[in-house]
A and B are shown apart, each in its own frame.
Chain A
Amino acid sequence: GAGVSQSPSNKVTEKGKDVELRCDPISGHTALYWYRQRLGQGLEFLIYFQGNSAPDKSGLPSDRFSAERTGESVSTLTIQRTQQEDSAVYLCASSSAPRTAYNEQFFGPGTRLTVL
């Protein structure tokens, strides 16, 4: 079946503009995650959705970042008033098992965001 998809694959924006990143998880996966990966570094957790609610949004770096999920499916990550330090690859993952002992995550290809 289809994997996790993300759009756009690349986004170049000017400092101060808002951007919206989209994630389509694997159908039926109840858990959805957003991560940020700066060049040459590991993944930073941003937010986790279980269904349409976000029990853990502890990784969002500032109030410029927000995310929502509707219909237990698509999620959008919005970054307002982008800054150059927001430049990174934003990765989405989904999981069918909400319990941590079985938490294999399936990743999308990511959106590479460049803020000029």
Chain B
Amino acid sequence: SQQGEEDPQALSIQEGENATMNCSYKTSINNLQWYRQNSGRGLVHLILIRSNEREKHSGRLRVTLDTSKKSSSLLITASRAADTASYFCATAPKAAGNKLTFGGGTRVLVKP
């Protein structure tokens, strides 16, 4: 199975609501990253949280990391229609050199 698994697989919310998605992983990591993908093409890096960090903010994004539970969450506050995209977590496992391992993604639909 994949190193990173997102939950839920799909999420539909109204504009202005918050969107929360989770990521679980299996092995020890150096860092965990969240990416956004629009229309199935290039990914855009959103935020990186290191293994010794517990929470990080960037604009309307809040990421948490719990290494004891091997899980992370991404919260998008006050969502906008433009936030409609697929969101992927990617882990940099300690044993895997410089390789990132991506989960299957959460498809978020923000309805205006």
> Could you list 6 examples of A-B contacts with CB < 8 Å?
A33-B100, A39-B40, A56-B98, A103-B100, A109-B41, A110-B41
In the complex, what residues of A have CB within 8 A of residue B96's CB? 56
In the complex, what's the smallest C-beta–C-beta distance from A6 to chain B, in angstroms? 9
Complex contact B98–A50 (CB within 8 A): yes
- The answer to the question of B48 belonging to the interface, with a C-beta cut-off of 8 Å to chain A, is yes
Residues facing A in B64-112 (CB within 8 A) are 88, 90, 92, 94, 96-105
* Top 5 A-B pairs, shortest CB-CB distance: A43-B102, A42-B104, A100-B30, A107-B43, A109-B42
- The answer to the question of A68 belonging to the interface, with a C-beta cut-off of 8 Å to chain B, is no
- The answer to the question of B31 belonging to the interface, with a C-beta cut-off of 8 Å to chain A, is yes
* Residues of A in contact with B (beta carbons under 8 Å apart): 4, 31, 33, 35, 37, 39, 41-45, 48, 50, 55-56, 58-59, 89, 91, 93, 95, 98-110
In the complex, what's the smallest C-beta–C-beta distance from A10 to chain B, in angstroms? 11
Which of B50, B90, B100 gathers most chain A CB within 10 Å? Answer: B100
**Chain B residue at smallest Cβ distance from A92:** B42
Complex contact A101–B50 (CB within 8 A): yes
In the complex, what residues of A have CB within 8 A of residue B33's CB? 103-105
Q: How far is the CA of A45 from the CA of B99 in the complex (A)?
A: 7
Complex contact B97–A56 (CB within 8 A): yes
**Chain B residue at smallest Cβ distance from A106:** B45
Q: How far is the CA of A95 from the CA of B77 in the complex (A)?
A: 29
In the complex, what's the smallest C-beta–C-beta distance from B71 to chain A, in angstroms? 17
Q: How far is the CA of A42 from the CA of B2 in the complex (A)?
A: 9
Q: How far is the CA of A39 from the CA of B97 in the complex (A)?
A: 27
Residues facing A in B21-73 (CB within 8 A) are 30-31, 33, 35, 40-45, 48, 50
Given that A100-B30, A110-B41 are known contacts, is A43 also in contact with B88, CB under 8 Å in the complex? yes
In the complex, what's the smallest C-beta–C-beta distance from B79 to chain A, in angstroms? 22
In the complex, what residues of A have CB within 8 A of residue B92's CB? 100-101, 103
In the complex, what residues of A have CB within 8 A of residue B103's CB? 42
